[in-house]
Amino acid sequence: MTTKPVALFVTCLVDLMRPRIGFAAIRALEAAGCSVVVPEGQTCCGQPALNSGDRQHAVELAKQTIAALEPYAAVVVPSGSCAGTIRCHYPEIFQHDPQWLPRAQAVADKTFEIMAYLDEICGWRPEGVTLDAKATYHDSCSGLRELGIKAQPRRLLKNIDGLTFAPLADEETCCGFGGTFCVKYPAISNAIVGEKADAIDASGADLLLAGDLGCLMNMAGKLHRKGSKVRAYHAIELIADMGDGPAIGEEA
Amino acid sequence: MNAASADNFHARVDAALADPTLKIAVERTAGTAEAKRGVAVAAFPDFEAARTRAAAIKDHVIAHLGYYLEEFEANAIAAGAKVHWASTASEACKIVVDICQTSGAKSVARSKSMLGEEIGLPHALAEAGISRIETDLAEHIIQLADERPSHIIWPAMHKTREQVSALFKAKHRSPHEEETIAAMAESARRELRTQMLGADVGISGANFLIADTGAVCTVTNEGNAELSLVPPRIHIVTAGIEKIVPSMPHAIHMLRMLARSATGAALTQYTTFYTGPKRPDDRDGPEQMHIILVDNGRTKMREEGLAEMLRCIRCGACMNHCVVFRQIGGHAYGGTYPGPMGSVLTPAIDGLKQSRDLPNACTLNGKCQEVCPVRIPLPTLLRGWREKSWREGLEPTSMRWGLGIWAWVARRPALYRLGTGIALWAMQWMGKGGWINQLPLAGGWTRYRDLPKPARHSFMAQYKKDHRP
C-alpha cells in the first residue's frame, strides 16, 4: 500500500472540547494507509467571523489557515462545516484578490471532510470493528448541503459488526446550532434542538452519531438536560474503533 | 409603515414561542406544504434543470429590466390599459387613491397582493376614507381579526381552524352553524360575494407581467381575483417591476415552478391573464385598467448586490422549510415578507438598522436555497447583510468584542495555545461529572442545555506530548 501524506486540520472545537475525535481521525487515516501530519500554525478556520459578518478577521484567519495547509498534498477535516468553509467559502472570500485567490483555490481543491476522504478518495472500509449498539444518524447541514456528505458515513459505519441503525425523523433538518446563532438567539435555538432531541429519543437508538462536533454538543447537551439516555459520538470515533470510550459528556 | 415594526425582534420571538396554538397552526400548514412539494418535485421530470431555466429567465429580465418594462408598457397601452410608474411606496399609494377619488369610487375589492402590503395600501385606502374588502379567504380572516399577513401564500396560517370559526361567529352576519370547513367557507362566501359585486374598483397584484402582450397574470385558488376584478368599473394592478417575463412560454414555465414549490399542486385552480380593459363588444370587464409599476427599492437592490433576490417569485417554499420560521411564525419577523426571503428583503425595504436581527436569526443551514425554485443563494445574501451590519457598527458590542478577542488570539497560535490551555484548566472545576450546567458568559447556551466539560488538555497539547522526539 502506498503511503499518502495528509494534513489534519483539527478544528478549534475538536482541539479544545473533544481531542479524541482528532486522535480517531489519525487512527482511521493511518488504517487507510495515510501518513498524517498535524500542521503547527493552525487554530480556527475563521468560520465564526465569516458567518457573523466580521470580514476582516475572517480574511486574516483564512490567510493564516491557507498558509498553514498549503504545503501538504491533501487536507482532511473531521467536520463538514469547517471543511465546507475552506472548500466553498475561502475562494469566495478572495474572489477579488488576485494574489490570494489561487492559493485559496488550491487549498480548497485538496481539502476533504474526513469520512468523504476515507470513503471516496481512499476507498477504505473499517475492518474487524465490532460494537453492539443501535445508532441513529443526524446529517449536519453544512456537510450535507455544501459538500454532499450523506452516503459516505453510512457506507463506513455499515462495516461495523453489531451496529444497527434506527431511522431518525427529519434527519436532514437543522439541529438549531448554527454556530453563534445558538447563543445569539438561544430561545429559538432551544425550540429547534428540543424537537431534534425528541426525535432522537423517539428513534429508539442508544447512540446518536453525526459528523460535526458543534451540532453534536448542541444535541447531546439538550439530550442530557432533558434526562435522555442516548449517548452521542462523532461518527469517526466508531469508525476508528474508539466507540467503546466515553461518549460526549461522559468522564473518562 | 413597517420600519418600526422590524424592531423588537426578541420580544416578538418570545411571544411567538410562548404561544402553543401558533406552533400547531404553523406546523399544520407548513408541514403539509413541505410534504406535498416533495411529492410534486419528485414527480417533475428533471426539476433541477427546470430550476436552472427559471433562474436564467429571471436573471435575463433583471439584467435587461428597462428593455422589457418598456416593451410591456407599450403593449399594455396598445391593449387599452393606462401604465403608471411609482418609485416609492407612497407614490404608488397616491396613484391608487387618486384613481379611486377621481372616479368617485367609494369601495374597493382587493385580491391578495403582497406588494399591496409592502406599500401599505390598506392603510392608505383607510386614510382616504375608501372602504376596502379583502376577497382572498385568508386575507378576509386577517381583515376580520385586524391583523397582518403572516405568510405570503397563507396570510392566516398562524390561525387554527378553531380560531377562525370563533372569529366568523363573532363577525359574520349569518355565520356557519356546523363546525365543518365547508360550512365555514360557505359563511365567508355569503359574507364576501355581496360586497364583492358592489365594489367600484378591483385591485390586484400581479404574479407575472408579460412583456410581449402587455398582459397581467394572477393566480388564486379561490377564483376571488376573477370575481373581484371583472365586475367593477375599474381594475387597478400594483406590481413590482421585477415581475416581468418576456413572453407567455416563460410565464408558463414560471407558473409550473411557482405552484409546485408553493403548494405541491401542478397549477393553481385559477390562472388568469388580463390584457387591457373591456373592449367595445365585450359584455363584461372593467371600463378602465390601470397598471402601476412599482420600484420601491428594487433598482437599488439590483445595484447593491441583491440582483439575485429579484428572481423571487413569492412561492413561500423557503419559509415552509425554514426551521426558524417553523418555530416563530411570520409575524415575529415584523416586515411584510417573513422567513428567509423576508430576512433578505426587509432590510432592503425598511432599512438595515431596524431589521438587523433578521439576517442574523438564521442558522445558515442552507435548506431554503435547496428548495428555492429560482436558486436564490439566500444564505450568501444573508451573510452579505451581516457583513454590512458589522461594517456599519450595528452589531452588539458584546459580539464585536467577543469575536474580536477570539480572532486576535487565534491569529497568534502560540498565545492561542497558552490562552486556551488556561481556559481548559479553569473549566475543570466547573459543573459536575462530565457536564457544565452553568457557565459565565455563556448563559445563552446553559440556560437551555448542558455543556460537555472540555478536555483537560487540548488535542494540540496531547499530540505534541505524544510526538515529542
* B391 in contact with A, Cβ within 8 Å: yes
Structure confidence by residue, pLDDT tens digits, B108-143 = 999 999 999 999 999 999 999 999 999 999 999 999
- Are residues B254 and B55 in contact, defined by beta-carbon separation less than 8 angstroms? no
Interface probe with A: pick from B323, B385, B424, B445, most Cβ of A within 10 Å: B323
Element (H, E) at B96: helix B89-102
With CA atoms as reference, the chain A residue closest to B443 would be A183
Verify whether the Cβ–Cβ distance B328 to A188 is below 8 Å.
yes
Residues present in chain B in total: 469
User: What pLDDT, in 10s, does the model give residues A76-85?
Assistant: 999 999 999 9
Nearest to A43 among B328, B380, B416 (CB): B416
Task: Assess A150–B contact: CB distance below 8 Å, yes or no.
Answer: no
Q: Band of the pLDDT at B443, cuts 50, 70, 90? A: confident
Report the amino acid identity of residue B106.
K
pLDDT given at position B466: 83
Residue B56, chain A, CB below 8 Å: the answer is no
Mean predicted confidence (pLDDT) in B154-176: 95
Cα gap A43→B124, rounded to integer Å: 56
Q: What are phi and psi of B217, to 5 degrees?
A: -110, 130
Interface of B with A in 336-365 (CB under 8 A): 360-365
Select the residue of A48, A182, A251 nearest B403 (Cβ to Cβ): A48
In this prediction, residue B469 carries a pLDDT of 56
CA of B464 to nearest chain A CA: how many angstroms apart?
9
- pLDDT confidence of residue A3: 64
> Cβ A54–B406 below 8 Å, yes or no?
no
Restricting to A residues 69-108, those with a Cβ less than 8 Å away from any Cβ of B are 92
Measured distance CA(B155)–CA(B148) in Å, rounded: 8
B249 and chain A: CB distance < 8 Å anywhere?
no
Q: Which of B190, B185, B195, B135 is nearest to B164 (CA)?
A: B185
pLDDT at B2 over 80: no
With 80 as the cut, is the pLDDT of residue B102 above it? yes
Per-residue pLDDT, A5: 86
**Average pLDDT of chain B, as a whole number:** 95
| H/E element, B421 | helix B413-427
Which is nearest to A137 in space by CA: A236, A53, A211?
Answer: A211
Interface check for B431 against chain A (CB to CB < 8 A): the answer is no
**Is A224 in contact with A249 (CB distance < 8 Å)?**
yes
Question: Rounded distance, CA B134 to CA A144, Å?
Answer: 43
B-contacting residues in A 198-237 (Cβ below 8 Å): 217-218, 220-222, 224-225
How is residue A198 written as a grid cell? Answer: 425528541
Closest residue, chain B, to A221 (C-alpha): B450
Across residues A239-250, what is the average pLDDT? 97
Is ipTM > 0.85 here?
yes
Helix axes B378-391, B339-350, angle to 10 degrees: 40
Cβ distance B444 to A186 less than 8 Å, yes or no, reads yes
**Residues B361, A188: C-beta atoms closer than 8 Å:** yes
* A127 pLDDT more than 90: yes
Is residue B6 scored above 80 in pLDDT?
Answer: no
Is the predicted pLDDT of residue B78 greater than 90, yes or no? Answer: yes
pLDDT for B247? 98
**What is the pLDDT, as a whole number, of residue B3?**
40
Residues of chain B in contact with residue A176, where contact means CB-CB under 8 angstroms, are: 323, 363
* DSSP string for residues in B106-159: -EEEE---HHHHHTTHHHHHHHTT-EEEE-SHHHHHHHHHT---SSSS-TTTTS
- Is residue B465 within 8 angstroms of chain A, CB to CB? no
Among A19, A48, A50, select the one facing B459 at the smallest CB separation. Answer: A19
Mean pLDDT of all residues in B359-386: 98
Specify the pLDDT at position B468.
65
Task: Tell me how far apart the alpha carbons of residues A94 and A163 are, in angstroms, rounded to a whole number.
Answer: 44
Question: What pLDDT is attached to residue B1?
Answer: 38
Instruction: Determine the pLDDT at residue B432.
Output: 84
Chain B residues with beta carbon closer than 8 angstroms to that of A50: 383
> Which residue type does B395 have?
E
| B434 interfacial to chain A (CB closer than 8 Å) | yes
B278 in Cβ contact with B234 (< 8 Å): no
Whether residue B183 has pLDDT greater than 60: yes
Give the mean model confidence (pLDDT) for residues A171-188: 96
Q: Is B47 on the interface with A (CB under 8 A)?
A: no
List CB contacts (< 8 A) between A18 and chain B. Answer: 452, 454-455
Question: Counting every residue, how long is chain A?
Answer: 252
Chain A positions in Cβ-Cβ contact with residue B14 (cut-off 8 Å): 187
- Whole-model pTM: value is 0.96
CA distance B70 to chain A (A): 35
Residues 6+ apart with CB under 8 A from B54: B253, B254, B257, B311, B313, B373, B374, B375
Q: Is A157 on the interface with B (CB under 8 A)?
A: no
Confidence at B446, pLDDT banded by 50, 70, 90: very high
Assess whether pLDDT exceeds 80 at residue A242.
yes
Beta carbons of B347 and B305 less than 8 angstroms apart: no
Residue window 302-331, chain B: list those with CB within 8 Å of chain A.
Answer: 323-324, 327-328
Distances (CA, A) of A124 to A36, A239, B447: 16, 11, 42
pLDDT at B336: 96
Mean pLDDT across the stretch B136-152? 96
Do B369 and B379 meet the contact criterion of CB atoms below 8 Å apart?
yes
Cα–Cα distance, B142 to B164 (Å, whole number)? 10
Grid look-up 418535485 returns B41
* Cβ atoms of residues B284 and B202 within 8 Å: no
Q: How far apart are the first and last CA of chain B?
A: 69
- pLDDT(B47) > 50: yes
* Closest residue to A187, CB basis, from B17, B395, B449: B17
| E strands in B280-410 | 288-294
Please report residues of B whose CB lies closer than 8 A to that of A183: 442, 444-445
Beta-carbon contacts of B366 under 8 Å, excluding residues fewer than 6 positions away, are A141, A142, A144, A145, A146, B379
The answer, yes or no, to whether residue B327 has pLDDT greater than 80, is yes
Q: Which residues contact A151 (CB under 8 A, 6 or more apart)?
A: A119
User: In chain B, which residue's Cα lies nearest the Cα of A46?
Assistant: B407
The shortest CB-CB distance from B455 to any of A18, A55, A222 is to A18
Calpha distance A47→A85 (Å, rounded): 6
Q: Does B429 touch chain A (CB under 8 A)?
A: no
Contact B17 A191 (CB under 8 A): yes
8 A C-beta contact, residue A113 and residue A147: yes
- Return the percentage of chain B with pLDDT > 90, whole number: 92
* Closest chain A C-alpha to B115 CA, distance in angstroms: 29
In the stretch 370-389 of chain B, residues with CB closer than 8 A to chain A read 370, 380, 383, 385-389
Closest residue by Cα to residue A234 from A199, A207, A197:
A207
Q: Over range A87-112, report the average pLDDT.
A: 98
Written as nine digits, the cell of B251 is 410565464
**C-beta atoms of B452 and A55 within 8 A:** no
Report the percentage of chain A scoring pLDDT > 90.
97
Q: B171, B339 in Cβ contact below 8 A?
A: no
In this prediction, residues B24-28 reach a mean pLDDT of 95
Residue B455, C-beta contacts closer than 8 angstroms, at least 6 positions apart = A16, A17, A18, A19, B424, B462
pLDDT at position B7 over 80? no
Helices B413-427 and B459-466, packing angle to 10 deg: 110
